[in-house]
């Protein structure tokens, strides 16, 4: 019997599936007490998974302790992400890690500046990361920089000065010293005999002013399905799919460029070719590409669970490596959702293309289909009113919703942060004018990567489930938890053969 039903709002079997998969995205949403040991743990605990009949699940650590369980010394439940004050450290750490992955501490960032963005002091952030990860923010950032630097050294022919800059170093001397200290070899020694030297450093769409980065994943990966999804929704001027390659533009302030992503034929990885004009934001680009292509999923565990439902079994057999497409930019995803309300995919693309022409920055690329960078939330938030809707051909009410999204994101009132509890994020989105549960769950799925998001009101999902109501669809999808977003994606694909 549960001490309290889990925050997944489902039975104990749902919690046990998440526990067995050790999916970090559920960390902090529930705790498991093991009756034979008297210990309670987080769902990501490295200890051997206990048998189902020995587990009790709790919504909060305090409930587990009230039931007589003591805290695990290995996974330290008091550090799990959550809403309680005792859990606040890990929420901060999760947010900090995401920002560090995107280059928040390199080359000009500071720990104190990052802490201010997270609403804590620099001392608090240092103590939190040391307590949970055993490293300081700067040490974690150094590890991320060196991992990227090593890939650029070995896999590209990029000059070492540019490698240093792209991986977050402003000083070549410091770059050389850091590489030698970590790998006991100089950068030039590491490059000799590397893949780039063997002539394999080029990638899809590569040019003389681009570099290539490998993005590994857990096999299998249904690249054809991912490309089909992106091609159907490609925004004119910003995105394009051709010959098995996804092309798009990107902009980070004054830093603008293009990228091309294709499957690597010899490894379980995608090959991303990125214009050197984006090298100053390379860590951000890589982090966003991983979220866009859902590269951190565990397809074997997800497929094994979903295939138990007769409604999904054939779909999963046809596409065992299906992923949930994310978003390269949260505001871009929000704009897609708003502009696509009550219109077809083709019409939504047309309207989004008009927004790009009206508010996006022109850019020169070697790909004629890529002409603009998608406008940022700050760009749209500067609109004085909904008058810009006339040029887009959308109702003023929908333009007002888009403007509300832009202002909320630009001001920081709305942040698509994976560390934020999904229910809280969904509530914040629904609070915006003209936004309902479908849009909120859709954005939780795309912009944040929440694996249990389920837009139950979606017409296609309801049709594929037999033309039922949204409430009935939610009931039928209950056995899919905690991976309802993947179940929905299988239905959207329609079970077509790869």
Given a contact cutoff of 8 angstroms between Cβ atoms, the answer to whether 261 and 204 are in contact is yes
CA distance 486 to 63: 31
pLDDT beyond 60 at 100 = yes
Least confident of 37-51, 156-170, 215-229, 249-263: 156-170
Given a contact cutoff of 8 angstroms between Cβ atoms, the answer to whether 98 and 417 are in contact is yes
Same-domain status, 394 and 349 = yes
Q: Which pLDDT score, from 0 to 100, does residue 394 have?
A: 87
For residue 387, with 0-12 CB atoms within 10 Å meaning exposed, 13-18 middle and 19 or more buried, which class applies? Answer: exposed
Same-domain status, 63 and 103 = no
Residue 134 lies in a domain: yes
pLDDT beyond 70 at 271 = yes
- Please state the length of the chain: 498
CA dist 137 → 89, 158, 241 (Å) = 14, 28, 38
What is the C-alpha R_g of the chain? 23
Q: Which residue has the higher pLDDT, 356 or 496?
A: 356
pLDDT beyond 70 at 195 = no
Same-domain status, 358 and 479 = yes
pLDDT beyond 90 at 117 = no
Least confident of 132-141, 298-307, 313-322: 132-141
Same-domain status, 156 and 97 = yes
Same-domain status, 396 and 486 = yes
Last residue of a domain, one of 201, 216, 235: 201
Label residue 91 by pLDDT band (50, 70, 90). Answer: low
Same-domain status, 26 and 104 = no
How much is the pTM? 0.76
Residue 257 lies in a domain: no
Least confident of 145-154, 262-271, 402-411, 430-439: 145-154
Q: Which stretches of 277-320 are assigned E, i.e. beta strand?
A: none
Q: Which pLDDT score, from 0 to 100, does residue 337 have?
A: 92
Note the pLDDT tens digit of each residue in 455-487: 998 888 999 999 999 889 999 999 999 899 999
Residue 261 lies in a domain: no
Last residue of a domain, one of 140, 172, 201: 201
CA dist 243 → 11, 205, 221, 262, 438 (Å) = 45, 11, 18, 9, 33
Q: Which pLDDT score, from 0 to 100, does residue 83 have?
A: 36
Least confident of 141-145, 243-247, 366-370: 141-145
* Mean pLDDT for the stretch of residues 126-155: 85
CATH number for the domain spanning 415: value is 1.10.340.30
Residue 427 lies in a domain: yes
pLDDT beyond 50 at 82 = no
Label residue 257 by pLDDT band (50, 70, 90). Answer: very high
Least confident of 4-8, 71-75, 320-324, 484-488: 4-8
Q: Which pLDDT score, from 0 to 100, does residue 405 have?
A: 95
Q: Which pLDDT score, from 0 to 100, does residue 1 have?
A: 34
Note the pLDDT tens digit of each residue in 177-192: 988 888 788 898 888 7
Q: Which residue has the higher pLDDT, 374 or 68?
A: 374
Same-domain status, 88 and 46 = no
Domain tally, the chain: 3
Same-domain status, 345 and 447 = yes
Same-domain status, 95 and 71 = no
CA distance 373 to 359: 9
- Give yes or no for a cis peptide into 220 (omega within 30° of 0): yes
Q: Which pLDDT score, from 0 to 100, does residue 268 have?
A: 86
CA distance 332 to 326: 11
Q: Which pLDDT score, from 0 to 100, does residue 206 have?
A: 52
The residues that are catalytic are: 41, 458
* Mean pLDDT for the stretch of residues 51-80: 81
pLDDT beyond 80 at 60 = no
Same-domain status, 69 and 87 = no
Mean of the per-residue pLDDT values of the chain: 85
Structure token digits, residue 463: 């049709």
Residue 209 lies in a domain: no
CATH number for the domain spanning 151: value is 1.10.10.60
Label residue 63 by pLDDT band (50, 70, 90). Answer: confident
Given a contact cutoff of 8 angstroms between Cβ atoms, the answer to whether 358 and 394 are in contact is no
Residue 240 lies in a domain: no
236 phi and psi angles, rounded to 5 deg: -55, 135
* Mean pLDDT for the stretch of residues 209-222: 88
For residue 455, give its domain range: 330-363+377-493
Cβ atoms within 10 Å of 471's Cβ, excluding its own = 9
Same-domain status, 338 and 194 = no
Same-domain status, 67 and 88 = no
CATH number for the domain spanning 34: value is 3.40.10.10
Q: Which pLDDT score, from 0 to 100, does residue 202 have?
A: 43
Residue 166 lies in a domain: yes
Q: Which residue has the higher pLDDT, 67 or 224?
A: 224
Q: Can you tell me which residue has the tokens 């809707």? A: 389
Residue 227 lies in a domain: no
284-287 long-range contacts, Cβ below 8 Å, gap at least 24? 284/102, 284/103, 284/252, 285/250, 285/259, 286/148, 286/213, 286/215, 287/98, 287/101, 287/102
Structure token digits, residue 110: 């500071």
Q: Which pLDDT score, from 0 to 100, does residue 450 have?
A: 87
Note the pLDDT tens digit of each residue in 365-406: 999 999 999 999 999 999 888 888 778 888 889 999 999 999
Q: Can you tell me which residue has the tokens 């934020």? A: 420
490 phi and psi angles, rounded to 5 deg: -60, -40
Q: Which pLDDT score, from 0 to 100, does residue 4 have?
A: 38
pLDDT beyond 90 at 116 = no
Last residue of a domain, one of 201, 234, 263: 201
Least confident of 5-9, 129-133, 362-366: 5-9
């Amino acid at each position: 019997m549960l001490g309290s039903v889990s925050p997944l709002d489902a039975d104990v079997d749902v919690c046990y599936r998440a526990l067995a998969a050790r999916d970090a995205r559920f960390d902090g949403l529930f705790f498991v007490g093991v009756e034979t040991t008297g210990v309670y743990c987080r769902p990501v605990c490295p200890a051997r998974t206990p048998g189902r009949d020995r587990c009790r699940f709790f919504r909060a650590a305090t409930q587990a302790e009230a039931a007589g369980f003591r805290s695990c010394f290995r996974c330290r439940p008091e550090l799990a992400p959550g809403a309680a004050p005792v859990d606040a450290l890990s929420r901060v750490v999760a947010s900090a890690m995401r920002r560090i992955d995107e280059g928040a501490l390199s080359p000009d960032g500071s720990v104190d500046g990052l802490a201010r963005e997270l609403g804590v002091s620099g001392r608090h952030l240092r103590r939190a990361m040391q307590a949970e990860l055993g490293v300081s923010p700067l040490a974690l950032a150094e590890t991320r920089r060196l991992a990227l630097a090593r890939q650029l050294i070995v896999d590209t022919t990029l000059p070492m000065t540019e490698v240093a800059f792209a991986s977050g170093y402003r000083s070549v001397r410091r770059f050389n010293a850091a590489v030698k200290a970590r790998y006991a070899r100089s950068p030039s020694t590491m490059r000799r005999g590397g893949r780039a030297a063997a002539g394999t450093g080029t990638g899809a769409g590569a040019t003389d002013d681009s570099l290539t980065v490998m993005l590994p994943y857990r096999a299998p990966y249904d690249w054809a399905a991912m490309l089909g999804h992106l091609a159907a929704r490609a925004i004119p001027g910003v995105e394009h799919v051709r010959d098995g390659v996804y092309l798009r533009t990107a902009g980070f302030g004054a830093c603008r460029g293009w990228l091309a992503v294709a499957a690597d034929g010899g490894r379980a990885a995608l090959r991303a070719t990125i214009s050197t004009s984006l090298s100053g934001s390379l860590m951000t680009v890589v982090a966003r590409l991983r979220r866009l292509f859902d590269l951190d999923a565990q397809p074997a565990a997800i497929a094994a669970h979903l295939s138990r439902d007769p409604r999904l079994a054939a779909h999963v057999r046809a596409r065992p490596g299906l992923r949930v497409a994310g978003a390269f930019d949260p505001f871009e995803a929000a704009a897609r959702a708003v502009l696509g309300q009550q219109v077809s995919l083709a019409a939504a693309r047309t309207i989004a293309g008009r927004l790009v022409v009206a508010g996006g920055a022109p850019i020169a690329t070697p790909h004629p289909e890529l002409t603009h960078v998608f406008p940022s939330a700050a760009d749209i938030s500067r609109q004085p009113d909904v008058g810009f809707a006339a040029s887009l051909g959308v109702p003023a009410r929908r333009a007002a919703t888009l403007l509300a999204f832009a202002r909320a994101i630009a001001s920081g009132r709305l942040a698509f942060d994976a560390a934020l509890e999904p229910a809280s994020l969904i509530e914040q989105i629904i609070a915006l004018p003209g936004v309902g549960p479908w849009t909120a769950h859709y954005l939780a799925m795309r912009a944040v990567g929440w694996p249990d998001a389920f837009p139950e009101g979606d017409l296609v999902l309801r049709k594929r489930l037999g033309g039922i109501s949204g409430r009935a669809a939610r009931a039928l999808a209950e056995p899919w938890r905690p991976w309802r977003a993947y179940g929905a994606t299988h239905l959207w694909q329609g079970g077509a053969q790869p």
